[in-house]
Amino acid sequence: TVCSMLEQRSIAFLTAAKEVGLETLPYERGFFICVPSNNPEKLMNEHHKDGVHAICTHSALRIALCGINKEEAARLPKIIKSRID
């Protein structure tokens, strides 16, 4: 089901985020996970160059779990963390 797919993706993302030390905003469930950032627009544009679709809010990069697969969800935190650092 859609809910179980989103749950698998969120677990993959959050597990990988924890492994690399990437901070995320509190997440319980849903279509999006947010990563706080001082410059989310710059971060978003850098990811778009690599074909990673993310959007920015005024203080975070918003990742659409509904638009990526489980493997991408597990791969993205390392990429995001490297750009933040």
pLDDT digits (tens, 9 = 90+) for 47-84: 777 777 788 888 999 998 888 899 999 999 999 998 88
- Distance, CA of 9 to CA of 27 (rounded, Å): 12
Task: Name 32's Cβ contacts closer than 8 Å, sequence gap at least 6.
Answer: 62, 63, 64, 65, 66
CA 33 to chain centroid, in Å, comes to 6
pLDDT digits (tens, 9 = 90+) for 4-52: 889 999 999 999 999 999 999 999 888 899 999 988 888 888 877 777 7
